[in-house]
Amino acid sequence: MKKKVLVLFMAFAMILTMGLFTGCGKTETSDEATTFTMGIDAEYPPFSYIGDDGEYTGFDVEICKAACEKLGWNFEVFGVNWDEKLVQLDADECDCVWSGMTILDSMKEAGYVISEPYYDNTQVILVKDGSGIASSADLAGKTVAVQLGTSGEALLQDDLADLAGTFGELVTCDSFLKCFTELDSGAVDAVFVDAPVADSYVAENEGFKIIDEGLGAEQYGIAFRADDQEMCDKIEAAVAELVEDGTYAEIAAKYPDIENNLLFLQK
């Protein structure tokens, strides 16, 4: 009788201890019931956005979902506030930031684990048909809009500061939609914007033209917390499998605007 109680007690203690350890983080090695929370900017089509049915979708979302299926993880989406995405990642609100995110040296320096790049991005200039603007040189004295917090904005302040210096005025909007609306209404002459965003806009709206000079080449990747190298490896392996079995290309085919710049499909 005494023995039975002792065994029961020990079993209980073990369960408790295990619970404590596994409770420390959802990134523990035991894969079962792991929930992977993907941090996205829900305002960034075609990588991550709200679809016609009102659910989160986009190229990145679909790939992540498929990768989680491969890994047997539960998949969740968390809409970050893009200006604070790394704070929210640190604070454990999501397990990664995966949302057409430009890889910056500053992220690596800050210790974040960054995946292999998967997408080549350039900045393009979106203008109205018949605006007479044919190259970046024509922007001299013109009013140009850029989205706050994007790599385009960072570039214009840094690497492309000389170009920005020729603008008549640089207007910062807090969303692409506002940039485009300003352009459409004639409030600005051009929008400095990520190529895929411009592509998908032009595909749906008439009367606009893209000027692509390969400005500000950059790459997209996934950011994880500093101690999540293992998680990053697993996701990368799962994505590699998706590339292998053709799922990746299948999903990419749904997003013709970005298909050509996907690095895994170019190899």
Task: Tell me if 181 contacts another protein by CB under 8 A.
Answer: yes
Report the residue number, 45 or 70, with the smaller CB distance to another protein.
45
* CA Rg value for the chain: 22
Note the helical H segments in 128-228: 151-157, 161-166, 176-185, 195-204
Task: Tell me if 206 contacts another protein by CB under 8 A.
Answer: no
How many of the chain's residues bind another protein (CB under 8 A)?
29
Task: Tell me if 177 contacts another protein by CB under 8 A.
Answer: yes
- The Cα 218–Cα 114 span in angstroms is 14
Report the residue number, 162 or 204, with the smaller CB distance to another protein.
204
Q: How far is the CB of 239 from another protein (least distance, A)?
A: 24
Whether the Cβ atoms of residue 100 and residue 48 lie closer than 8 Å to each other: yes
Residue in the block written with tokens 């200006």: 83
Q: How far is the CB of 186 from another protein (least distance, A)?
A: 17
Report the residue number, 136 or 147, with the smaller CB distance to another protein.
147
Stretch of residues binding another protein (CB under 8 A), selected from 65-73, 160-168, 172-180, 242-250:
172-180
Provide the β-strand partners of residue 50.
Answer: 56
Angle formed by the axes of helices 176-185 and 195-204, nearest 10°? 50
Site string for another protein, 78-107 (x = CB under 8 A): xxxx--x--xx-xxxx--------------
The residue from 35, 106, 157, 205 that contacts another protein (CB under 8 A) is 205
Residue 57 structure tokens: 């979708």
Handedness of CA 210, 214, 215, 217 (dihedral sign): positive
98 sits in which H/E element:
strand 96-102
Footprint on this chain of another protein (rule: CB under 8 A): 42-45, 49-54, 78-81, 84, 87-88, 90-93, 175-177, 180-181, 201, 204-205
